[in-house]
Structure 1
Amino acid sequence: MAGRRGKRWLLLLGIPVLLAGLLAAFWSWDWFIPLAESRASAALGRPVKIEHLHVKLGRTVTVAAEGVRVGNPPDFPEDPPFAQVARATAQVDVGAFLRSREVVIPAIELDRPAVNVIAREDGSRNYAFDTLSAPKGEAAEPGAQSGPKIGALRINEGKAKVVIPWLRADFDVDLNTRDRDGQEPALVAEARGTYAGQRIEAEFTGGSVLGLRDETRPWPADLRLRNGDTTLALQGTVREPLKLRGADLRVELAGKDMADLVPLSGVPFPKTPPFRLEGKADYADGRVRLFDAEGKVGRSDIGGTLTVSTTGSRHDVTADLRSRSVDLADLGGLIGSQPGRADTPGQTRQQRNAMAREAAGRKLLPTTPVNMPRLTAADVHLRYRADRVQGRNMPFDSLSTEVDIVDGAVSIHPVSLGIGQGRLVANGTLAPTEGGGLRAKIDVEMRRADLSRLLGAAGAGGAGTVGGVARLEGSGKSVSEILGRGNGEATFVTVGGTVSSLLVDLSGLQFGNALLSALGVPARARIECFIADFALQRGALRSRTLLLDTDAHVVTGSGGLDLGREQLDLRLRTDAKRPTVASLPTPIRIEGTLKDPSIQPELAEAAARAGAAVGLGLLFPPLALLPTIQLGVGENSECEALQAAGERRRRGQQQQAPEGGGRR
């Protein structure tokens, strides 16, 4: 009986052992792959496939998935997939879960992960995820875990491919982690390819990948990037890297043209000469801020603060900039001309060639069309001031401006140029038109501009003030078109100075000495009154009054300038106040283009005259013009007295006309 009972127990014990042995022999964790794939697909909103699954049991369970593949959206081809991993290994602390229901993962390791970030011309992209989320309005339960606690993440031989047509981007990224003594592995990345249609090379070293979620410790970041001719260096820490807040970053930017920064920053920078800039950067509430910035653009220094808000449908840019010294040629890109000068250091061959082509062209006014996509790419609010304007033959002392660009419409309020104790101020608007250009409305006022400052820039002497007003309305795709189709008027007047300085330095012509000689006016004659009153109609600037009164002569003029063709057609004549033997110079004609003017004698009108009094009553402006003139200068006793004399002379001629009307 005892033997029988022993055999029965052996049989009962052997069956479970045999079943356990059979289970161990044929067990496969791959049976759980459908469940794992289903959970992962639901979480990502993408099809997830796993080739093999391995589990090693113990106090710390090791789970390894091989051949993991995350698919593309339905309208993308299957290959290449969005992501794939040759082997993903995770360690799970079972004891921590049993004690406190916490999910603790001491380490995750990814071998040869590959990601393909692909976009297409129609705007579709494979990196737009539609993941499941809790119903709107449901709050997390108190004490609920926000996610698993992960110790370290290692990436071995990671790759990424990025192709985004509208950024003209096609580059590859190598991703790895680097072990550090006593610290979690650091993220290291290198990128090569093209961005914005230009070669891009970048090297990045950061903190641990999982440290991105730790808001208690600053996350280190070190980036070195070259995109075409532009270089960017960024180094520092970010306290909340996933939210890009609490940044303490030092930024260095350098390049050949700030317009190259547009695809990198989204800020519509104009064309500039070579530049370099250093400053600090941070990010908060959807705003990127560059502050404490200092640098150079061409020959001009630049500094201040630039803030870019990315929360709206397009970027909103606020800039508060200043220069201790500015070369206005460096700002030429703002009006469509090639910025900089021929000797600006660091220019590329393309920049030098563009400057040479512009210099060789027959046009003086900028003809480059307005870049409307760039103008409408962001709303811009700019405040700029320059303490000193540099350059030879430059009459301006300082510059300040405030400009707003909203929906492509430009408001200037104002641009102000200092000229000694006076200023030249312009206010206006530039509104987009259906044809892709701008409609301009500009008002200009010159108040008590220092004549000595205007003349001293060219090494000449003089005294007095200049004032006046001007108005322009026009439309076009460039400065040349706007002026060439414009309507408006301009009136300017000066009191004091010397005739030589005025003709050489205020006329804007490069042949002042020849002009002075042709007029037959003494080089140092004193100016008593100068009035220039022009009307602009469809790009044709015609004189209504052009008169220079000195202590010995009166110079009068007629004609004007076709701004569309930049063609000059001016006639000037000189009359002595006291007739002398040598007081009958030939009238002259100024012809040619703004770039290449010439002086010719007006032989057809050469005749003897008996002084300026003959023409004063006919050439002087109406009395209604004087309030406008006084607005610009403040005092005009000389011009008023001269006008009064001309009016008296004109009335006298009218009274004598019937008596002498029959004489020829």
Structure 2
Amino acid sequence: MRGKRWLLWLGVPVVALAALALTFSWDWVTPMVQRQASGLLGRQVTIGSMHVSPGRVTVVTLRNVRIENPPDFRAEAPFAIIETLVLRLDGMASLRGRTAVINDVDVDGARVEAASLADNSNNFTFSVAAGAPPVEGQAPSPPFRSLVIRNSQAHVVHAALRADFQGEIATREQEGRQEIVLNLRGTYANQPLTGEIVGGSILDFQNAERPWPIDARIQNGQTRGRLVGHLRNPLALAGADVRLELAGPDMALLRPLTGVPIPRTARYQVTGKLDYGDDRFRFTEMTGQVGNTDLAGTLTIDPRGAKPDVTADLRSRRVDMADLAGFIGGTPGRGATDNDNRVLPNQPLNVPAFQAANIHLRYRAAQVSGRDAPIDNLDATLDLVDGVVRLHPLRAGMGRGEIVGDFTLTPGANGVHAVADARFTRMDISRLLRAVGGRGGGLLNGRARLDGTGRTTAEILARGNGAVTFGTSGGNLSAFMVDLAGLRLGNAVASAFGIPSRTNLECFVADFALQNGVLNTRALLLETEDATILGSGTIRLGDERLDLRLVSQAKHFTVASLPTSLGVSGTFSNPSVFPVIIERDATSSFGQLLNVLRAPLSLLPIVEFGIGEDARCETILNRAQPQRPTDPRPAQGRRAAPQRPR
């Protein structure tokens, strides 16, 4: 009887516990789990249903998990909805440690809505409760062993980046390793975006001892990029060892991807090593092609300030000048033309881009090519700081000479204020004439100054003030050009056939004043062994029109010489040359015109041209000055005229 009572007392609790287990609803525990999850994430978390399968490996299944947006973030959809979330816990370890020890997590059917609004508020920044700090010298252990994601999507909207794209997210096993795969489609910078990103296990994100592999292929508009290599602790940007490839029709399209403003370029393809350290991104071992120009060097970006700080050291073995047209507001690329048939670059200068970054650039080109490029090499040092561009200096080699210029561009309400000062030293005349189809020899010196404001390079010149001065002595020119200037038709025909091929150049002086975009000749003299040519007129940079008159006097009688002057008119892109017949007494008219044109020559600073050491040009300039009439008074009754300094 007593044994039966013991069995009864023991059986009733067991049966009661069994009945409780069979009828127990884990939904009673759901509110407590929701409170703990909400406190951990700093967001309201709700759970539709919860089921627990106890055991050595306890399986917790949560359905319809909803993670809300921050309280002050206005959006119709929640941040995330997860159809099924399965957690596998180590039961014994959880009991011993009195905390949940999660081994595996399975996510199925997650939908994430990540957004950043125009006011820079976003819903993807979490205030996660801090856990125990890692032991010094050890990498933090992942919170669980594996994470499996299936049938999940993320929708990202970012107002500042003008981005709106979907991402399909899943994990997979690949050769014994877990990978995460993200497929993208949508828009970025208002351009179509597609791509695939394959990375290592999410659990290795913070494992500094195990570099995280990545292979990303992205196409944004017409720009294509690929990133292959390893990242160290990607969440903390601890470092990188990857190869980056970029290709597209125009480097200016890279700004939304890099944050760095780049002028328009021809089609390009570059590759190099990308790494991160000391809070800077470094693009090293860079090689590639921009149009017909090869490009190599290094690029460093420091993103910590209010705007990126970029330092670049770039070089080219051979540069095509046509590929650099975008840097002065032109259309880059060989054969490219602007629609309005203008010669001066007329594309608007991108003033907002001046404020996008601080840039420190050194660029060197060992060889400059192009049929219309008379220079041999190029060396430029550029600083863009707080919107102000300074080229100090820009050097261009030409034979034994060079062009050295300092340029400052300051953005303002009316466009860009440009100040330029360039000196031309020992420039090879043969290079200059070859660019326009002529022949010659000798060295040219000069200086050009500009101060103007505008929204394009053409507009800056059209509103500019300054001066242009050139001069040389010695050398030679194609006789055909000299003969045409004098319309000495017989010699011109002979010269065209190479008889004679050249004429010696004794002196050349050109001095123009630039006022409100109009170049006015202060003096224009060309003297050869065969002829003296003087000129006057204007060049209007605003509408690119020529209005010049040249008169030539042969030093020797020639067959078919005509007493004429030569007119040059038309536009830069379509100039015309025509004879102007001198009526009445040709000799008298020509002499009067020469006296008018010679008058400004007495004011020219000879040393400014670099020709003061050559007596030939100085003698010609002195001779070209108009002669004063003879004073009939006795010599003792008048003061001696001051001598012109030598």
Q: Structure 2 length as normaliser, TM-score? A: 0.89
Q: Secondary structure at the match of 1:215?
A: coil
2:172 aligned residue (173, 178, 185): 178
1:271 aligned residue (261, 264, 271): 264
Q: 1:525, CA displacement in angstroms?
A: 2.4
Cross-structure match for 1:626: 606
Q: 1:298, CA displacement in angstroms?
A: 1.0
Gaps (5+ residues) in structure 1?
343-354, 505-511, 659-664
1:422 aligned residue (401, 405, 411): 401
Residue 541 of structure 1 aligns to which amino acid in structure 2?
L
Match status 1:49 vs 2:42: no
Q: 1:474, CA displacement in angstroms?
A: 0.3
Match status 1:488 vs 2:466: yes
Cross-structure match for 1:324: 317
Match status 1:531 vs 2:509: yes
Match status 1:153 vs 2:147: yes
Residue 425 of structure 2 aligns to which amino acid in structure 1?
R
Residue 650 of structure 1 aligns to which amino acid in structure 2?
Q
Q: Structure 1 pair 472/93, CA: closer, same or farther in 2 (3 Å)? A: same
Task: Please report the RMSD computed on the Cα atoms of aligned residues, expressed in angstroms.
Answer: 3.2
Residue 548 of structure 2 aligns to which amino acid in structure 1?
L
Q: Structure 1 pair 101/11, CA: closer, same or farther in 2 (3 Å)? A: closer
Match status 1:67 vs 2:47: no
Q: Structure 1 pair 141/261, CA: closer, same or farther in 2 (3 Å)? A: closer
Q: 1:64, CA displacement in angstroms?
A: 2.3
Q: Structure 1 length as normaliser, TM-score? A: 0.86
Contact 1:245 1:282 in 2 (8 A): no
Match status 1:639 vs 2:617: yes
Q: Which runs of structure 2 are paired with 1:448-527 in the superposition (5 Å)?
A: 448-456=426-434, 461-500=439-478, 515=485, 517=487, 523=495, 524-527=502-505
Q: Which runs of structure 2 are paired with 1:472-621 in the superposition (5 Å)?
A: 472-500=450-478, 515=485, 517=487, 523=495, 524-577=502-555, 585-603=563-581, 607-609=585-587, 615=595, 618-621=598-601
Cross-structure match for 1:164: 158
1:228 aligned residue (221, 225, 228): 221
Q: Return the alpha-carbon distance in structure 2 between the equivalents of residues 319 and 415 of structure 1.
A: 16
Q: Return the alpha-carbon distance in structure 1 between the equivalents of residues 105 and 522 of structure 2.
A: 84
Match status 1:392 vs 2:371: yes
Query: Which stretch has the larger CA shift, 144-153 or 389-398?
Result: 144-153
The number of residue pairs the alignment matches comes to 625
Cross-structure match for 1:662: none
Q: Structure 1 pair 102/386, CA: closer, same or farther in 2 (3 Å)? A: farther
Contact 1:332 1:338 in 2 (8 A): yes
Q: Return the alpha-carbon distance in structure 2 between the equivalents of residues 258 and 247 of structure 1.
A: 24
Q: Structure 1 pair 26/333, CA: closer, same or farther in 2 (3 Å)? A: same
Q: Structure 1 pair 460/145, CA: closer, same or farther in 2 (3 Å)? A: closer
Match status 1:191 vs 2:199: no
Q: 1:132, CA displacement in angstroms?
A: 5.0
Q: 1:2-54 CA deviation, whole Å, 9 max, x = no partner?
A: x4x55654554355335423432442222222222222222322211111222
Cross-structure match for 1:347: none
Q: Secondary structure at the match of 1:469?
A: strand
Q: 1:174, CA displacement in angstroms?
A: 0.8
Q: 1:243-277 CA deviation, whole Å, 9 max, x = no partner?
A: 33432212221111112211111111221121111
Q: Which runs of structure 2 are paired with 1:436-451 in the superposition (5 Å)?
A: 437-451=415-429
Residue 228 of structure 1 aligns to which amino acid in structure 2?
G
Q: 1:416-449 CA deviation, whole Å, 9 max, x = no partner?
A: 11110111122120001123x1000000100111
Q: Return the alpha-carbon distance in structure 2 between the equivalents of residues 407 and 519 of structure 1.
A: 59
Q: Structure 1 pair 150/203, CA: closer, same or farther in 2 (3 Å)? A: same
Cross-structure match for 2:194: 201
Match status 1:58 vs 2:55: yes
Q: Return the alpha-carbon distance in structure 2 between the equivalents of residues 145 and 214 of structure 1.
A: 6
Residue 594 of structure 1 aligns to which amino acid in structure 2?
F
Q: Secondary structure at the match of 1:35?
A: helix
Cross-structure match for 1:310: 303
Q: Return the alpha-carbon distance in structure 2 between the equivalents of residues 250 and 460 of structure 1.
A: 48
Q: Structure 1 pair 426/526, CA: closer, same or farther in 2 (3 Å)? A: same
Q: Structure 1 pair 102/458, CA: closer, same or farther in 2 (3 Å)? A: farther
Q: 1:488, CA displacement in angstroms?
A: 0.3
Gaps (5+ residues) in structure 2?
496-501, 635-646
Q: Secondary structure at the match of 2:397?
A: strand
Q: Return the alpha-carbon distance in structure 1 between the equivalents of residues 139 and 8 of structure 2.
A: 49
Contact 1:192 1:202 in 2 (8 A): yes
How many percent of aligned residue pairs carry the same amino acid? 43
Residue 176 of structure 1 aligns to which amino acid in structure 2?
A
Q: Secondary structure at the match of 2:205?
A: helix
Q: Return the alpha-carbon distance in structure 2 between the equivalents of residues 81 and 158 of structure 1.
A: 15
Q: Return the alpha-carbon distance in structure 2 between the equivalents of residues 159 and 118 of structure 1.
A: 14
Residue 373 of structure 2 aligns to which amino acid in structure 1?
M
Q: Secondary structure at the match of 2:331?
A: coil
Q: 1:211, CA displacement in angstroms?
A: 1.2
Q: Return the alpha-carbon distance in structure 2 between the equivalents of residues 573 and 68 of structure 1.
A: 92
Match status 1:16 vs 2:13: yes
Q: Structure 1 pair 583/625, CA: closer, same or farther in 2 (3 Å)? A: farther
Q: Secondary structure at the match of 2:627?
A: helix
Q: 1:119, CA displacement in angstroms?
A: 3.0
1:116 aligned residue (113, 130, 133): 113
Q: Structure 1 pair 575/220, CA: closer, same or farther in 2 (3 Å)? A: same
Q: Structure 1 pair 407/142, CA: closer, same or farther in 2 (3 Å)? A: closer
Contact 2:512 2:522 in 1 (8 A): yes
Q: 1:185-224 CA deviation, whole Å, 9 max, x = no partner?
A: 2111111122222222101111111111211112111111
Contact 1:530 1:547 in 2 (8 A): yes
Q: 1:570, CA displacement in angstroms?
A: 0.7
Cross-structure match for 1:434: 413
Q: Structure 1 pair 178/487, CA: closer, same or farther in 2 (3 Å)? A: same
Cross-structure match for 1:661: none
